[in-house]
Amino acid sequence: MTTLTNTATLDSINPATGEVVGSVPLTPVGAIPGIVAKARAASKAWGAMTAKERADILRPAGQVLMDRSEELGKLLSREQGKPFADGIGEVQGCGYRLSDEVDEIAEAVRPQVLKGEGVETTVYHDPYGVCAAITPWNFPILMPHWMVLPALVAGNAVVLKPSEETPLIAQAYADVLNEFLPEGVLQVVHGREQGPALVKADVDLIAFTGSKATGQAIMREAANGLKRVILELGSKDPLLVLEGADLDKAAAFAARNSFRNCGQVCVSTERIYVDRKLHKPFLEKLVEQAKSFTVGACDEDGAVIGPMIHGRQKAHVIGQIKDAEAKGANVVFGNETREGCFISPTVLDGVTHAMDIMTTETFGPVACVMAVDSVDEAVELANDTEYGLGAVVFGEESLARDVARRMTAGMIGVNRGIGGAPGTPWVGARQSGIGYHGGPMGHRQFCQVRAVSVVAGGGDS
């Protein structure tokens, strides 16, 4: 959580205590065109290198992140709220695989040669030039890493605009990379109004993760220059618990995916549809699982989840719970609050699509359970949304596989979460986004494809 103390400084606030964690200089909006111009100038030499050369330059940053993971992880936790173990783990997740990641990205963007019908075509994956990376607060080092690293290895210069809620850890991440990068290749701007100004500036590609409304605003502005966009937006992920499901595993997944990071995850489970015959035992197991999620500040022993990022988000979640109760839902566990931004894991039963909590993104620690009478009803309700990021189906294997193919989400897990095998893209459908991240397909999103064709064997055309 942040506050603006004056025109020059952005303070980062610990959402558990209200204390100032630290501050960063607020970037003057009028300085952004010059920052982008500096990036464009730096992109020429950077883009002229091979992807392998760029990967080799970035490689040592992984060890620095690992060496500083406790320091940086605790900084992350203090400004975002998640427990220290989660904050340190997030930093380590970026550092541990960085060396492998830069090699994977370099391999994905190397030229490919195609031959046939007397023609030889080389498909190049060239840098766009300048990439604006606008990142959220819920995973405040992982999300910059997810955008900045492939953009850089692909040969772009990057201007990073992290969330104003978590500027410190994003700046620290950029500082680590800048120990090795040429000047101007990676720059950071801070502040709320700086995002729209960066989108309007002379950038070639905008990578954004955040709300649907902001994504729409970015698309409108990007259309003026036909700038490329990669947008991961909101979601309302469903979980289906059908005949043949392992209820212990389904309930454990439902609790973990509803409550982790205090429900502030883009693929949190926000709607649960359960075969009516399984409803009561599933609900009992879910409540039992929910009891293990202790709420506390990042440094509290035993805390599994931290606070909401700020009071506005807490008020949104409480408002949705109250609306659901007023319309007939039952709170079967939780719904306890304490001073500050804390809210306990909550289980709601008897929800319907007449309730806002089943149609509008919650982004909070609430598991909403609805009994259904058939597979068709479960599928229809699960797909009754404008979003489509993730979905999960628990049930007898062949049934669950069939149902998964009827989901309109971009990523579907069968008897497990949505995470895929190495190389799988992270992709949303419908209004959950445009473009995707991860794997060769995602890495190439940061590239302009160019196909150069010649007569095979070097002969005349």
Question: Are residues 331 and 346 located together in one domain of the fold?
Answer: yes
Encoded amino acid at 178, one letter? N
Beta bridge partners of 451: 123
> Does residue 422 form part of some domain?
no
From the list 104, 232, 270, 361, the catalytic residue is 232
Coil, helix or strand for 346? strand
Question: Are residues 22 and 134 located together in one domain of the fold?
Answer: yes
The answer to whether 101 and 119 are in contact (CB under 8 A) is: no
Instruction: Assess whether 368 carries a catalytic annotation.
Output: no
Query: How confident is the model at residue 218, as a pLDDT?
Result: 97
Question: Are residues 312 and 181 located together in one domain of the fold?
Answer: no
Domain that holds residue 253: 237-414
Query: How confident is the model at residue 459, as a pLDDT?
Result: 54
Query: How confident is the model at residue 460, as a pLDDT?
Result: 52
Q: Please, what sign has the CA dihedral across residues 430, 432, 433, 437?
A: negative
Query: How confident is the model at residue 457, as a pLDDT?
Result: 78
Instruction: Give the residue from 234, 266, 291 where a domain finishes.
Output: 234
452: alpha, beta or left? (left if phi > 0; alpha if psi -120 to 50): beta
Question: Are residues 259 and 355 located together in one domain of the fold?
Answer: yes
Query: How confident is the model at residue 215, as a pLDDT?
Result: 96
Query: How confident is the model at residue 339, as a pLDDT?
Result: 85
H or E segment at 392? strand 390-394
Instruction: Give the residue from 234, 251, 266 where a domain finishes.
Output: 234
Instruction: Assess whether 232 carries a catalytic annotation.
Output: yes
pTM of the model: 0.95
Question: Are residues 62 and 178 located together in one domain of the fold?
Answer: yes
> Does residue 115 form part of some domain?
yes
The CA distance from 314 to 246, in Å, is 33
Instruction: Name the CA dihedral angle for 136, 192, 317, 80, rounded to a multiple of 10 degrees.
Output: 50
The answer to whether 121 and 456 are in contact (CB under 8 A) is: no
From the list 266, 341, 368, 447, the catalytic residue is 266
Question: Are residues 266 and 351 located together in one domain of the fold?
Answer: yes
The answer to whether 81 and 169 are in contact (CB under 8 A) is: no
> Does residue 461 form part of some domain?
no
Tokens of 349: 């039963």
Instruction: Give the CA angle between residues 128, 129, 130 to the nearest 5°.
Output: 110
> Does residue 432 form part of some domain?
no
> Does residue 441 form part of some domain?
no
Question: Are residues 185 and 245 located together in one domain of the fold?
Answer: no
The CA distance from 359 to 386, in Å, is 9
The answer to whether 132 and 221 are in contact (CB under 8 A) is: no
Q: What is the pLDDT along the chain (461 residues), one digit of tens a residue?
A: 555 444 599 999 999 999 999 999 999 999 999 999 999 999 999 999 999 999 999 999 999 999 999 999 999 999 999 999 999 999 999 999 999 999 999 999 999 999 999 999 999 999 999 999 999 999 999 999 999 999 999 999 999 999 999 999 999 999 999 999 999 999 999 999 999 999 999 999 999 999 999 999 999 999 999 999 999 999 999 999 999 999 999 999 999 999 999 999 999 999 999 999 999 999 999 999 999 999 999 999 999 999 999 999 999 999 999 999 999 999 999 988 788 899 999 999 999 999 999 999 999 999 999 999 999 999 999 999 999 999 999 999 999 999 999 999 999 999 999 999 999 999 999 999 999 999 999 999 999 999 999 998 765 54
> Does residue 74 form part of some domain?
yes
> Does residue 80 form part of some domain?
yes
Coil, helix or strand for 445? helix
Question: Are residues 255 and 347 located together in one domain of the fold?
Answer: yes
Q: Domain containing 296 — which CATH number?
A: 3.40.309.10
Q: Domain containing 224 — which CATH number?
A: 3.40.605.10
Beta bridge partners of 371: 274
> Does residue 443 form part of some domain?
no
Query: How confident is the model at residue 335, as a pLDDT?
Result: 83
In angstroms, the first-to-last Cα distance of the chain is: 63
Question: Are residues 394 and 261 located together in one domain of the fold?
Answer: yes
Query: How confident is the model at residue 116, as a pLDDT?
Result: 95
For 244, which DSSP code?
T
Question: Are residues 269 and 396 located together in one domain of the fold?
Answer: yes
Question: Are residues 266 and 365 located together in one domain of the fold?
Answer: yes
Question: Are residues 163 and 256 located together in one domain of the fold?
Answer: no
Encoded amino acid at 422, one letter? P
For the chain, what is the domain count? 2
